[in-house]
Structure 1
Amino acid sequence: MTKIKILWVDDEIDLLKPHIMFLSKKDYDVTTCQSGMEAIETIENERFDIVFLDENMPGLSGIDTLAEIKTKQNNLPVVMITKSEEEYIMEEAIGSKIADYLIKPVNPNQILLSLKKNLDHSRLVSERTTSHYQQAFRKLSMDLSQVNSHQEWVDLYKQLLYWEMELDQLDDSSMTEILESQKQEANSAFFKFITKNYHSWFDHKADDAPTLSHQLFKTKVVPELKDEQPTLLVVVDNLRYDQLRAIEPIINNHFKKEQEDAFYSILPSATQYARNAIFSGLMPLDMQKLYPKLWLNDTDEGGKNMHEAEFLDNQLKRLGMHISHSYHKITSLDQGRTLADNFAQYKSQDLTVIVYNFVDMLSHAKTEMQVIKELASNDKSYRSLTTSWFKNSPLLDIIIKAQRLGFKLILTTDHGTINVKNPTKVIGDKNTSTNLRYKTGKSLTYNEKDVYAVKNPSDIRLPSINMSSSFVFAKGDYFLAYPNNYNYYVKYYKNTFQHGGISLEEMIIPFAVFLPKN
């Protein structure tokens, strides 16, 4: 095995011989230098794994030497060692991307710990994470066999997501495969839970129902509007819980999270149903009855989410909320930039609502474009692509401006999405809806074990296209495929991200409140 090579730079290097002997006995290869200039020349001629660098040296100082090292080998870890604890020195060193910071006099164990932390970090984290997940696996399996309420499902889903994102950091695909099978098992059990309980959640006497899409604004948003602080409500279409987790560290640079909660998307877990329900405060059947000119069914021509601003106005009036507000839908980069440039004009409003459509467009692009299919081939890469977009998006610019203007930030979504892998055949007439995760129409034929079938849509507060229409919702990672051109259809849509059906990813979705950092 190749020895770890250390460069130790200190003008009093002779005093450090005991430390160097200690490291040599531990099988580290230590090279020494007595000045910054000598260190820079040495680095040009040899490769090192890490540098220990004295901050206070005559001639080229430690800080200046650090800067020179970083220009030559930016990824080489440098541990700064100093007698001084002055804050400005620490800040300057940290700003120059040091790997660690030690105060003299150092002892051998401090040095060894720093080496482990910087050079053996990945292996140690990997071993620890694998061991802890193996222990958690048994508990998750036990919890999965006992979960029996909507809140218990939220808790279990969050645990699965935690481990999924922890295992993202490892190279061990076997652990990821085990977790993936556990998620599939959880989705099968969740499907049974929904088919058993969903219809009862619309009974006014139901005492164990979650907050659903149409109740979100009244129960969770309105209480946040009681103070004088301007509020920015951002609904990122199609944002799953794991995607929020992925972008949250970026948001945390500007806001601190005050509250996080989950709610359930209504069925179908699709934009025209779930997002209209959020803004109207009504289930689709009630929207159709109260606002027949604003509601469109699946088979009707025209955009299905064109009236969210009107729905929001009407809901605020029904709730007796006489507040100043505005609504903005962003579907392009130019629209996002324009809103970011002009955002300051909304600081005097009580509520500013933004619907941002990028993640939804990303999931559709993955279906249509080969390059996106390759970039977002699984959940891990889908999260990564979402994070990359968010870091460079006008939405982040808007959020930063909102923080500077003292806005409260509420971030949520309408539904999630799932990577579909298993086709199941469905047959309907030419008026049957086209979504891959749910169908509505008459005389539908399907495999009963793969779908949740609702013969009477009004039971779950959905409208009917005609007198004999029914709904079916796909289970887990299934997608609904027609028998004609079946093989082409299956190949085209397999491993794409879809929404509208029953899965943890689609139905359990986040609601988070953030306060601006000073």
Structure 2
Amino acid sequence: METQYRGKILWIDDEIDHLKPHILALEEKGYDIRTATNGSDGIAFAEDEPFHLALIDQFMAGMDGMETLRRLKESCPALPVVMITKSEEEWLMDEAISEQVEQFLIKPVNPSQVFMACKQVLEKHKIQEEKATSGYLQEFQDIESKLSSDPSFAGWWEIHNKLVKWQLNFDEHSDTGLGNILADQIQSANRAFIQFIENGYSNWVVGQNRPQMVHDTIPIAVAPKLNEGKKVCLLVLDCMRHDHFMTLMTELRSLFDIVIDPSLALLPSATPYSRNAIFSGMFPNEFCKKYPEQVEAMQQEKGVNRFEEIFLSDQLSRLDLANVKLHFKKIWKVSEGNNYQSHVGDYLDSDLMAIVVNFIDILAHARSESEVLQEMVPDESGYRSSVKTWFKNSWLLKVLKTLKETGFTVVITSDHGSIRVGKGVLVGADKETSSGIRYKMGRNLNCNEKHALIIRKPSDYGLPELVHQTNYLIAKDDVYFLYPNQQHRYEKKIKNSFQHGGISMDEMLVPLATLTPLT
């Protein structure tokens, strides 16, 4: 049986004659080995012909291994390197790591150690993709079984969490060929989730076996920490989906111990309703009744979130936390964020810092207006990547590091997520109807029930009557609403954009994460 070719390796060692058993063992495994007895020859070989991997001995006469490594990286920056040395000194390991060495082996090494190092470097991605493929295919049936078992809210969070995990996995291993199967399963799950929401939501409004919802954020996640005498920062990342938060974990887990609980966005899954609910601790019909000026703002669709600080102060008073020193801030622009980060020390004497950050929401809306952003964020994977890149280099991460160092407990959540829309659906409405793309508020609204949850009695859903005989339409699946006289003008512009306000797992199942500083 012919040995499978595994790659071409350059081995640089001034005692290469002593390594013949190792070379023969690698050749038997399918590697093509080229040897050099000094750094200069090795670099010359690498410049003349392509290699998949270099093995370099540290202690060589003339040019040593570290110098060889540096010069090799100058001419072949993408070539992965395994360093082999007799020394166990930490400074040498630090040097090698700083030069992006893939592996560090301590002599004496046996042939199997060298083989395993080569295999890990050269075949890691392939092995991980194969594992991802087999892992998802095994879990596919488990998810299908859970979908057919009438899951509870906790069950839906578990399903969503699993699907998000595989989306992130496939972001890293895009050659599995299973992306379409996963997308179909997510679509199927969303249809079942719509039934779950339609069947249960009106009961939850009156408190029957209600899941944790976004208006529970302060009493459940913030107030208990304040009562324990801890300083707390509530960070609301507007429009952050669960998969977005999971991409931030790479940076956060080195700073905090993180516990993630599920939370359910309100209907409509949009900022005027869900974010005001977080700060007021109420369903929308309740905060509109208590604060009549909010009704006017929502009727005019202007300044719909301008009372949030008042809402929060009042909620703290109802929770017997009126004496808490509160700092409240909303940040829309990068310049505002940078300025905030430079002055964050001025606010650290607060008991509660509440910060709203709008970047993720702004990115979603700006994408539909910009061809450049549509190229950068073509789909959900691109959206996750953009959020991750922003956060890694953002003022916000610097603020979080400061909060960690000063002992703040940080609660991170979102008011709602978003979904990429694909199907335009015509609705009948009058001129007073709201402008939402995934939800409509007005009167005499008409739409096929297949495409929208039609709410004729708003109070059953905890919603206000903003006009006489108010109706609401809440989009299902990946639907977006169009008016007949504007169909051709807006259909192409809106299709494939990220929108919110409707019923889907990505819009409604949001993380409520409690971050405790690592010591």
Within 2, Cα distance between the matches of 1:39 and 1:57?
A: 12
Query: Is residue 221–residue 411 contact of structure 2 (8 Å, CA) maintained in 1?
Result: no
Please name the residue that 1:260 is paired with: 260
Q: Match of 2:272?
A: 272
Relative to structure 1, the CA distance from residue 311 to residue 69 in structure 2 (aligned partners, 3 Å threshold; closer, same or farther) is: same
Asked whether 1:478 is paired with 2:479, we answer yes
Distance 1:230 1:151 in 2: 29
State how 1:415-494 maps to structure 2 within 5 Å. Answer: 415-494=416-495
Deviation at 1:47, TM superposition (A): 2.5
Q: CA RMSD in A?
A: 1.8
Q: Partners of 1:226 and 1:13 in 2: how far apart? A: 68
Is contact 2:443-2:469 (8 Å) kept?
yes
Q: Does 2:105 match 1:81?
A: no
Comparing 223-232 with 272-281, greater Cα deviation is found at 223-232
TM-score by length of 1: 0.95
Offset of residue 387 of structure 1: 1.3
Q: How far apart, in 2, do the equivalents of 1:301 and 1:213 lie?
A: 22
TM-score (norm 2): 0.95
Q: How does 1:187-202 map to 2 (within 5 A)?
A: 187-202=190-205
- What residue in structure 2 maps to residue 117 of structure 1? 120
Residues of 2 paired with 1:221 and 1:147: CA distance? 32
Identity percentage over the alignment? 38
Q: Distance in 2 between matches of 1:491 and 1:240?
A: 25
TM-superposed deviation, 1:440: 1.2
Where in structure 2 are the equivalents of 1:306-455 lying within 5 Å?
306-321=306-321, 322-455=323-456
Secondary structure of 2:368 counterpart? helix
Compared CA separation, residues 134 and 503, structure 1 to 2 (3 A): same
Q: Which moved more, 1:266-275 or 1:315-324?
A: 315-324
Mapped pair 1:502 → 2:503: yes
Shift of 1:228: 4.1
Deviation at 1:3, TM superposition (A): 6.4
Contact 1:298 1:433 in 2 (8 A): no
Correspondent of 1:55 among 53, 58, 61: 58
Number of equivalenced pairs: 515
Q: Distance in 2 between matches of 1:97 and 1:496?
A: 39
User: Which residue does the alignment assign to 1:224?
Assistant: 225
- The amino acid across from 2:393 in the alignment is N
Deviates more, 1:415-424 or 1:47-56: 47-56
The 2-side partners of 1:47 and 1:223 are apart by 61
Q: Secondary structure at the match of 2:78?
A: coil
Classify the secondary structure of the residue corresponding to 2:424. Answer: strand
* Structure 2: runs of 5 or more not aligned: none
CA contact (8 A) 2:225 2:231 kept: no
Q: Structure 1 residue 405: deviation in Å?
A: 2.8
What SS does structure 2 have at the residue aligned with 1:313? helix
Letter in 2 for 1:70: K
Matches within 5 A, 1:23-62: 23-62=26-65
Aligned equivalents of 1:405 and 1:36: distance in 2? 49
Cα deviations by residue, 1:340-386 (Å, 9 ceiling, x for unpaired)? 00111222221111100011111111122222222212101111111
| Deviates most, 208-217 or 221-230 | 221-230
| Letter matched to residue 317 of structure 2 | K
Amino acid at match of 2:59: N
Which whole-Å CA distance do the structure 1 matches of 2:37 and 2:215 have between them? Answer: 70
Unaligned runs of 5+ in 1: none
Cα distance, 1:37 vs. partner? 3.3
What amino acid does structure 1 have at the position aligned with 2:246? R
Distance of aligned partners of 1:3 and 1:200 in 2 relative to their CA distance in 1, 3 Å threshold:
closer
* Structure 1 equivalent of residue 153 of structure 2: 150
Would the alpha carbon gap of residues 246 and 323 (structure 1) be closer, same or farther in structure 2, given more than 3 Å must change?
A: same
The answer to whether the 8 Å contact 1:297/1:465 transfers is no
Output one character per residue of 1:202-229: Cα deviation in whole Å (capped at 9) or x when no partner: 223x1x2111121111112212323444
Letter in 1 for 2:495: K
**How far apart are 1:140 and its partner, in Å?**
1.2
Select 1:91's aligned residue among 94, 97, 105: 94
Give the 3 Å change call, closer, same or farther, for CA 350–175 of structure 1 in structure 2.
same
